[in-house]
Structure 1
Amino acid sequence: MDTAAPFEASVRLGETPISLKGSASASEVQAQLDVGELALSTFAPYMADVLVPELDGRARAVLGMSWRAPQGERPMDLQVDVSSLQVDALRLGPSRRPLASLGALKLQEARIDLASRSVTVGKVLASRLQASVVRDKSGRWQAQDWARPGPAKPDSATPVPPWQVTLADVELDGGNVTLDDRWPAQPVNLAVSQIQLQLKNLQPLASKPPDMPVKLQLRLGPAQAARGEPGRLGLTGSLRLPAADSALRLKANVLAERLPLHELEPYFGDRLNLELLRADASYRGSVEAALPAAGMSLALAGQASLDDFRANTRSPAEDLLAWKSLQVRGLALAMAPGQPTRLAVEETVLSDYFARLIIDESGRINLQGLIKPAEGEAATAVATPAASALVATAPAGPPADIRFGPVSLVNGRVLFSDRFIKPNYSANLSELTGGLSAFASANNATGAPQLGDLTLRGRAEGTAALEIDGKLNPLAQPLALDIRGKVRNLELPPLSPYTVKYAGHGIERGKLSVDVAYKIEPSGQLTASNQIILNQLSFGDRVAGSEAPNLPIKLAVALLADRNGVIDINLPVSGSLNDPQFRLAPLIFRLIFNLIGKAITAPFSLIASAFGGGGPEMSQVPFGEGRPSLDAAGRERLDAVAKALVERPALQVTVVGHADLEFERAGFQRSRLDQQVLAEKRRVLARSGTPPAEGLTVSADEYPALLKEVYRRADIPKPRNAIGIARDIPQAEMEALLMAAVPVTPDALRELAVARAVAVKDYLASREMPEDRLFLGAPQLGRQGDNWRPQAELRLAPR
């Protein structure tokens, strides 16, 4: 046996051929083993001792073995080289509903050194993973029941060195995993699909695992496809596995698109005072995370968004918050045990949003309590949901340092109720657009909260213009703000249900304008003023069956109104947020003085009316922005004016047209474009020999083709292709280019004002008004007052 002798053998194990060949001597053996396709079920009785579910598949392998006897100080050497090992159709569990399966598992360039207890694998490739991860209501994972407990290992006096395992390249090509978690109060069912995973230098048994490169792509969504499209997640970076001497660590660039955050709500919903219906989260940037024993540390830097958000109150279930898109740009977050949490955001944009906003009897905003405090924590006063969540999840330590750059709000709607003011006030605010400048959780150098500049524009109740300006810091604890709000020309008839309940009369007509100012000091001291102006308020007859006190409401309104039909009330409010004190004396005295002044200075205004039941607004004939022609509302108003003037022959009328260059610029250009389109239709009719009908209009179906022809004929700069030919562009872009080419000059606006006056004068003349009683006044250019609208003004004078 001193000389190596070759050997060769072959056998069959069932239907599987196995061949062995090599050479051997007393001190060295070299051999190669080829195993044909072998069913793993052949070894089922052996595997049943350690594995509960059945394991099956078809394996093929080419193995090499090298043994060398010890000599002197050189230890024995025993190695097994795996040239190739492939298992197809690997399955765990029953064949009809396997617990997990792999289409194929391949090992290449593997070496097992039994003497040094090490395993090195060049590449592991797994494909077509299918698995189901289940946790029952008791919190036990199904996989915990797969392995059978083995016999207790006897203590060894001689320590055995641990095995060293290195997988140089691990790839998972295609995988689908479903999660069925029944442990939360509301079960979670998720599907992780299209998994692509690559790991480099994986050492799962090392006491100090290295940082290994990792790439991951997958789709995450609800297990039921009908509940929505899955989101995408891509990750590239490095990963360190947890071990005795190291913590889990991830450092990667992440691209997440529309991950369904609402599907994970059962895991954190107990910390929320709301029901999360929908929230698609996206993130593009870097992530650094670690889980040491002291607690989690996290660092983010990138762009984030939360889209299609919808949340309801729990009891009763009604709309609370919703938005189309929340974009957070320049996000920088740092959290570490014992360190202050730091959050910085360069810019935030919230678009197409809705909020149910309530100020309760104690002065607290309902959105401040969206995050439940943990046991032993005081309730947070943070008013923004994102900041509330951050404060609630931040590790214990110094106060968080939160800094926000400008916040933009686009096209919002707020259903607002103020129960702090008595009587209560509610309003439906829409088309809210504006922003809040930079603010932070830390106080400024003087110790006061850093307040951001707030600007908001919108509409109230769909009819009135709304303006909100001031300063606000939603992170301040307690709440600090200094805000002024204006509502102009709120139509009052929709509020008739309130007046019927409390006064017994419905509102027939009238407008409301409000100027409010709220200032809350850090001490909780509130100072507020409410300037309320009612214009041309008119009540109807008493509603039959009303239980409201039978007061002379119409007489009271007439006495309160000034000679122009305006009621002006100022209601100052001051006190503490904890114990508000309302000072009603100024209001009472103001009412008394108004009544006295009314009786002295305007006694006949109780019965006088310039237009037989109308009011001063009847002297204003509205026009569309930039348009010289009367609309239906204008003609209807002039019909009433003509009827009143015919009954009063001693009066003459001067018609003054109004226009404003900046206010009507867009409307003027739109009007000129409509005229060009109409002229194009007349040209088409003339070319076809069809005489244009009186009152010719352009239908919606005709408009695109006519607009395109106007654009083609227009001598304006146009977008062109590479060879210089004007290319087709969308309708909106054609309109924008044509409108931009319309010159808007002071002379053109003067002509517009004159044309409006002529239109009103001609219409009145057609309603039996003699020409000698109608005059044109000098046009008025520029806005006069906050309530100005495009109009023609009627001025009365004796003949």
Structure 2
Amino acid sequence: MPNTSLRRFTRYLQTGWLSPRRVRFWLVVVGVAYTLVGFFVLPWIIQYVAVDTVRDRSGHELQIDGVHTNPFTLTLRVDGLTLSDGDDSDLLRWNQLSANLSWSSVINRAWTFSSIGLDGLMVAEERFASGETRLTRLVESFAASAEAPAEPAPLPTLRVEELRVEDATFHFANHLRDPSAEAGDEPARTRLSVQDIAIAVDGFSLAAGARFPAQLSGQFARGGAFDFDGRVQVLPTPAFEGEASIEEMALAPFEPYLRQTAIVRIDSGALNLDGTIRRDEGEPLAFLGSAGIDILRISRSSDDVTLIGWKTLRTDRLDLRLGDERLETDTVRLEGLSGRIVIHEDRTTNFGRLLVIDPETTPEGGSSDGAALLGMTIANIEVTDGSVRFADHSLPLPFSTYIQALSGEITTLSSESAEPARVELEGQVEDYGLASVGGTINAWQPMRETHLELTFRNLRVPDYSAYTVRFAGRRIASGTMDLDLDYTIRDRQLDGQNNLVLRDLELGERMEAPDAMDLPLDMALALLKDEDDVIDLDLPVTGNMDEPEFGFGQVIRQALGDAIGSVVEAPFRFLANLIGAEDEDLGTVEFPAGRSDLTPPMRERINALRTALEKRPALALELPGAFDPALDGPPLRRRSAMDELRKRLDREIDDPSLSAESTRETIEKMFTDYYPDTPLEKVRARFTTAAEDSPEEETFDALSYRNHLAEQVVAAQPLTEEDLKALGNARAAAVREALMASETGRGIAARRLRLLDPVEVDSGEGERVAMQIGIAPD
């Protein structure tokens, strides 16, 4: 009986439920249902569950334009997704997400995607003054609404053969307090953006230790680009290694972060990096490659005055290892440095006044010599074509200048060595001055041990009249200054042995200045000027660098002369100062040997002397003509010989020569007259030699013969003292006529120009005969 029932049941299945017609029917039903659910129901479920879950668990609004699935190709596409924060700000957005699930996921029991693509992704993160961020608030809201699991769920096994992100954007906003703002003001909102982000990953995997190739690139919204090409690991710890670069990244967007330490403005600047970047379990971040910052300009926030900047700052090797807390570089080349350094009356600096001091972090005493955050070693710094504006208002005579063409070197800087760096810099001050800086400095602990020597030479004092007016109520009319600043700092104690030298100083007009000291400066200058018209002042400076209290020595101590004496002893230098020709020796006129005409430089000197005499109408000049027999004799004798030659020639010659063939016979006659005891045949024999190729033939050197005759004729010319005095008188007359003549028609009156007897001078090895002019009252 049981067997009969079993057979009946089997026959029923075969003829009923398992009949081909019924199987085909149910396959069609399942296929249709799978298709309907996959194409129509599943997208609705995904969209509904996603929107509802985000709203219920976080309170955020999620909008999705459309969800599309294909149950046959296992693809998913989500269009137009937007996740909004509580204040309606978009937190996350994309144009399209596409994912292609591989059928192998069913067999391998792992989420395996053949491709995932994300287009138009936008992520907006914001950090508030409280410290929380939009993303952390989102995560915390999800965590608060979910029950904490007993054990963290393991991450799913995931593999993506091809992951692509295109046209992505990341915005980061931060709320930072502006140190220059009024108390109680809300922190300012600053924003950084990265756009055109592209990510390409092949073989993405969450397997422990799996590394896969990845490429990342993008643009900074305010200028610049970045790129990474290497390998990345996700688990067990994030790691990556590859070639990375940053090109022309604008630094201006980071100004709010710099303002947390200094009240300044970044006007321009671009960062460049190119090298290898690495992160792994033992190294938080490491970089090895070249680095540079170009076209940097940092100015004060209150105006457009540049504090510091440069054209190029580069090093070919920058080695950063955060794990070892070390930073090392090869030579750092700094080109086109520009800066402004001001020492105020209270010894504070313009940089110090701009620093933001936090009383909660500043140690008692106002400063700190804390160690560097990183162990840092810089091989050396090379400076070329720099410029610095420097002013020191703490000196008794306030000082300000402009240094250009600054070049030099700073040797190895190391935070791990007590050995100070050596400084050697030199530059040009204004048009004709010189500045140099030398010495040693410990860059990380400058208050512990520093010795710097700043030297300035040939500075024009009139440029600094604005400061002397405030100091003494007088302008500076003329003069030069040398300044030596020798500062030694040891254990925060300053010892400065400074020296100020003033040359040819002349005071200008008086000016009202409420804070000016009531000093008898005219008498002081008369006492201080030595025989060389030099004022030499020692300015000792001492004090504690934390609370500087400096004492200056008495600077007016010595009397070395008076103004009237210096004028009398050097009258022509005084006249030159009157017309701004300090370098001209107006009391000397130089003449070429044997001549009385004025050369162009001497005519210019005579013009300057005439201008000075016009400013001093009570002065008269004494003109003693000068002559030097040793220097003037040869050209005078030659001129006499030429005159005699012209007389004896029986024909007209425009420019006769004493050694020409055309005048040989006349010169021979003159030679015979001057030297009757010397036959010409004997002279000719001296210049006749046997030919080298034929001893029987003779060679006569006619040119040497004629030159010899000319020299002998010149030497035979008589030269009397009257001839030399006549030359001296002619020279004095030439000077007198030049002083009386003037292009403007206003020359010096004849009565003020006295011709004296000529005098003999010794020119030594010189090529010019100097005529010394005397001065006397009119």
**TM-score grouping bracket, smaller chain normalisation:** 0.5 to 0.7
CA distance in structure 1 between the partners assigned to 2:527 and 2:162 by the alignment: 90
- Of Structure 1 and Structure 2, the greater helix share is in 2
CA distance in structure 2 between the partners assigned to 1:487 and 1:301 by the alignment: 41
Q: Is the 8 A contact 2:392 2:399 kept in 1?
A: yes
Residue number in structure 1 paired with 2:538 = 570
Structure 2 residue 251 is matched with structure 1 residue 235: no
Residue number in structure 2 paired with 1:217 = 217
Q: Is the 8 A contact 2:387 2:403 kept in 1?
A: yes
**Alpha-carbon displacement from aligned partner over 1:608-656 (angstroms, at most 9, x marks no partner):** 62166324824269xxxxxxxxxx99997652224558952425699xx
Give the deviation of 1:247 after TM superposition: 3.8
Counterpart selection for 1:260 from 241, 250, 254: 250
Structure 2 residue 423 is matched with structure 1 residue 453: yes
CA distance in structure 2 between the partners assigned to 1:584 and 1:517 by the alignment: 15
Name the % identity. Answer: 19
**1:471 partner amino acid:** T
**Which consecutive residues of structure 1, in runs of 5 or more, have no partner in the other structure?**
12-17, 22-30, 64-82, 223-229, 383-387, 395-399, 622-631, 655-760, 782-791
Give the deviation of 1:370 after TM superposition: 5.0
Give the deviation of 1:538 after TM superposition: 0.9
Question: What does 1:349-360 align with in structure 2 at a 5 Å threshold?
Answer: 349-359=333-343
Residue number in structure 2 paired with 1:718 = none
CA distance in structure 1 between the partners assigned to 2:151 and 2:286 by the alignment: 45
SS for the counterpart of 1:163 is coil
**1:459 partner amino acid:** V
Structure 2 residue 543 is matched with structure 1 residue 614: no
Question: What does 1:347-386 align with in structure 2 at a 5 Å threshold?
Answer: 347-359=331-343, 367=351, 378=363
CA distance in structure 2 between the partners assigned to 1:525 and 1:147 by the alignment: 54
SS for the counterpart of 2:470 is helix
**2:196 partner amino acid:** Q
SS for the counterpart of 2:330 is strand
Q: Which moved more, 1:152-161 or 1:449-458?
A: 152-161
Give the deviation of 1:270 after TM superposition: 2.7
Q: Is the 8 A contact 2:98 2:118 kept in 1?
A: yes
Residue number in structure 1 paired with 2:447 = 478
Q: Is the 8 A contact 1:41 1:56 kept in 2?
A: no
Counterpart selection for 1:494 from 463, 477, 480: 463
Q: Is the 8 A contact 1:192 1:218 kept in 2?
A: yes
Q: Is the 8 A contact 1:323 1:350 kept in 2?
A: yes
Structure 2 residue 526 is matched with structure 1 residue 558: yes
Give the deviation of 1:233 after TM superposition: 0.5
Q: Is the 8 A contact 1:406 1:438 kept in 2?
A: yes
Counterpart selection for 1:286 from 276, 289, 292: 276
CA distance in structure 2 between the partners assigned to 1:57 and 1:125 by the alignment: 16
Q: 1:7 to 1:513 in 2, by over 3 A?
A: farther
CA distance in structure 1 between the partners assigned to 2:19 and 2:146 by the alignment: 42
Question: What does 1:174-213 align with in structure 2 at a 5 Å threshold?
Answer: 174-181=167-174, 185-204=187-206, 208=208, 210-213=210-213
CA distance in structure 2 between the partners assigned to 1:453 and 1:87 by the alignment: 65
Residue number in structure 2 paired with 1:401 = 375
SS for the counterpart of 1:53 is strand
Counterpart selection for 1:467 from 410, 413, 436: 436
Q: How many residues matched? A: 596
Residue number in structure 1 paired with 2:623 = 650
Question: What does 1:241-252 align with in structure 2 at a 5 Å threshold?
Answer: 241=234, 246-252=236-242
Q: 1:271 to 1:344 in 2, by over 3 A?
A: same
Counterpart selection for 1:127 from 110, 119, 129: 119
Structure 2 residue 298 is matched with structure 1 residue 311: yes
Structure 2 residue 495 is matched with structure 1 residue 505: no
Q: Please tell me whether Structure 1 or Structure 2 has the larger radius of gyration of its CA atoms.
A: 2
CA distance in structure 2 between the partners assigned to 1:554 and 1:497 by the alignment: 19
TM-score (norm 2): 0.63
**1:122 partner amino acid:** S
Q: 1:765 to 1:569 in 2, by over 3 A?
A: farther
Structure 2 residue 103 is matched with structure 1 residue 141: no
Q: 1:455 to 1:545 in 2, by over 3 A?
A: closer
Residue number in structure 1 paired with 2:110 = 118
Give RMSD over aligned pairs. Answer: 5.1
Give the deviation of 1:146 after TM superposition: 9.9
Q: Is the 8 A contact 2:251 2:270 kept in 1?
A: yes
CA distance in structure 1 between the partners assigned to 2:313 and 2:611 by the alignment: 55
**2:70 partner amino acid:** A
CA distance in structure 1 between the partners assigned to 2:197 and 2:766 by the alignment: 70
Residue number in structure 1 paired with 2:683 = none
Residue number in structure 1 paired with 2:416 = 442
Give the deviation of 1:607 after TM superposition: 8.2
Q: Is the 8 A contact 2:469 2:511 kept in 1?
A: yes
Residue number in structure 2 paired with 1:603 = 565
Q: Is the 8 A contact 2:397 2:467 kept in 1?
A: no
Residue number in structure 2 paired with 1:345 = 329
SS for the counterpart of 2:476 is strand
SS for the counterpart of 1:641 is helix
Residue number in structure 2 paired with 1:542 = 510
Q: Is the 8 A contact 1:49 1:148 kept in 2?
A: no
**Alpha-carbon displacement from aligned partner over 1:149-171 (angstroms, at most 9, x marks no partner):** 59977899999765212223211
Give the deviation of 1:290 after TM superposition: 5.6
Give the deviation of 1:346 after TM superposition: 0.9
Q: 1:257 to 1:776 in 2, by over 3 A?
A: farther
SS for the counterpart of 2:582 is helix
SS for the counterpart of 1:49 is helix
SS for the counterpart of 2:486 is strand
Structure 2 residue 62 is matched with structure 1 residue 53: yes
CA distance in structure 1 between the partners assigned to 2:357 and 2:155 by the alignment: 47
SS for the counterpart of 2:416 is coil
Q: Is the 8 A contact 1:271 1:373 kept in 2?
A: no
CA distance in structure 2 between the partners assigned to 1:641 and 1:505 by the alignment: 28
Give the deviation of 1:7 after TM superposition: 7.3
TM-score (norm 1): 0.62
Q: 1:468 to 1:115 in 2, by over 3 A?
A: same
**2:77 partner amino acid:** V
Q: Is the 8 A contact 1:135 1:142 kept in 2?
A: no
Q: Is the 8 A contact 2:227 2:246 kept in 1?
A: yes
CA distance in structure 1 between the partners assigned to 2:229 and 2:276 by the alignment: 10
Residue number in structure 2 paired with 1:91 = 81
SS for the counterpart of 1:187 is strand
**Alpha-carbon displacement from aligned partner over 1:702-751 (angstroms, at most 9, x marks no partner):** xxxxxxxxxxxxxxxxxxxxxxxxxxxxxxxxxxxxxxxxxxxxxxxxxx
